[in-house]
Amino acid sequence: MKNFWQKNLFFLLPLFVLAGCGDNGVTELQQWMESVKKTTRVSVAKLNEPKVFVPVGYAGKVELDPFNPAKLLVALARMKAESSTGMRPDTERRKEVLEAYSLDEVKMVGVIERASMRHALVQVDKSVFQAKVGNYIGQNFGVITKISDSSIEIKEIVQDAAGEWTERKATLELQETKK
């Protein structure tokens, strides 16, 4: 018998503790909840009346179709004519070698000076090119405007969402070689 109590003491002890608990806590909680239910008033805000929907008839033959893509093209052409700055890239000129690469692919690796003219050394893949002020670079009609010891300043001409040509400045920083 002693062996039985030793083995099952772990399971029997919580049963004796729970048997000592009475219903006092439960009944007090139920009384409190009933008193709160009696004193609490439920209030629901009134909903606004829904707006009256008035259908509008559409006579497709009388008016211009609002979903016609030609209407959008006409509006864009009118906006372009009203606010045109006249800026546009020269698409007729011959492309230079560095215009075949995006600016993300081009790295500035150095500067050299010949005959009092500064040239930037730019690397694309494993090839190194010389570029001077006035050369074109990048795929957005970029023109080199300034070459310093540590950077190349570029003026690009890009189209915005409305089709307008605008100027954007970009900079290529000197890339230090890893040893």
For residue 32 the two structure tokens come to 């409190």
DSSP string, 98-131: GGGS-TTTEEEEEEEEETTEEEEEEEETTEEEEE
**What torsion do the CA atoms of 155, 160, 162, 165 make, to the nearest 10 degrees?**
10
3-state secondary structure of 42: coil
pTM comes to 0.53
Separation CA 144–CA 139 (nearest Å): 13
Place of tokens 């081009």: 106
Quick one: CATH architecture of 97-173?
A: Roll (2.30)
Ranges of each domain in the chain: 97-173
Alpha-helical runs (H) found in 40-100? 69-83
What are the per-10-residue average pLDDT scores of the chain (179 residues)?
Answer: 67 66 73 89 87 80 71 74 70 91 92 90 92 93 93 91 84 79
Q: Please, which residues have CB within 8 angstroms of residue 131's CB and are 6 or more apart in sequence?
A: 98, 119, 120, 121, 122, 137, 144, 147, 152
Judge contact between 133 and 150, C-beta under 8 A: no
For residue 85 the two structure tokens come to 């700055």
Separation CA 92–CA 78 (nearest Å): 26
